[in-house]
Amino acid sequence: MKKMKFTAAALSMLLVLGSCGTSQKTGTAAGAGAGAALGALVGGLLNNSHRGTGAVVGAAIGAAVGGTAGNLIGKHMDKVKAEAEAVKNAQVSTVTDANGLTAVKVTFDSGILFQTNKYALNASAKNDLAQFAQVLKNNADCEVAIQGYTDATGNDGINLPLSQNRANAVSNYLKSCGVTSSQIKSVEGLGSANPVVNTTAACAQNRRVEVYMYASQAMVNAANNGTLK
């Protein structure tokens, strides 16, 4: 098992390094190469690991995705990204999910940032999330992972439940705006892990929630069938 994990991790690292030259304006190249390189096994092994600025997202898919299908998913996620970018205050980037497929990461400039030791959503956050909820509803073939974070003050006994409450607050508000519970696949608090600003001081940028949109099994099936648009 250790050898399998090492092999999967090595493949994933090669995938990440290989995708660094791809512009964030398009997920097409990353989707094609990634889909050909990795399948459900790697996704299952690495789904609970951490990489970059967040936990790896995406459930293990039922079958490996070839280059053509990965390319279709990349093009489709480009459209999802463009729609998310139209949301006020949204910061949107292309990332790679646990299966090596193109995914979309969304954070917000001023909306989903929290006061120290708080998890209540302010009015700006609710307004941003209401707009973003429509993007999720328009793209029901995307599954969603929500990750909450804290700054580096306090210890895990405080930060982990606080970050979970922040993720829950976002999830609950999105659902109140009409996003289905079935679309939101994971809601996770990660404490002070994966800071966007490396500092031990209280830092507003690290008190955040990140939302990830990634390919569902239905999207993968459509891509494999050549019907994904």
Question: What domains are defined for the chain?
Answer: 2-225 (3.30.1330.60)
* Better-scored residue on pLDDT, 11 or 92: 92
* Per-residue pLDDT at 168 exceeds 50: yes
Confirm if 34 and 16 have CB atoms less than 8 A apart.
no
Query: How many H helices and E strands in the chain?
Result: 7, 7
For 26-76, how does the pLDDT look when each residue is reduced to its tens digit (9 = 90+)? 444 444 444 433 333 333 333 333 334 566 788 777 767 888 899 999 999
* pTM, full prediction: 0.77
SS3 category, 126 = helix
> Would you say the C-alpha torsion 88, 76, 44, 96 has a positive or negative sign?
negative
The residue length of the chain stands at 229
- CB neighbourhood size of 63 (10 A): 12
CB 149 within 8 A of CB 191: yes
Pull the structure tokens for residue 144: 């969603």
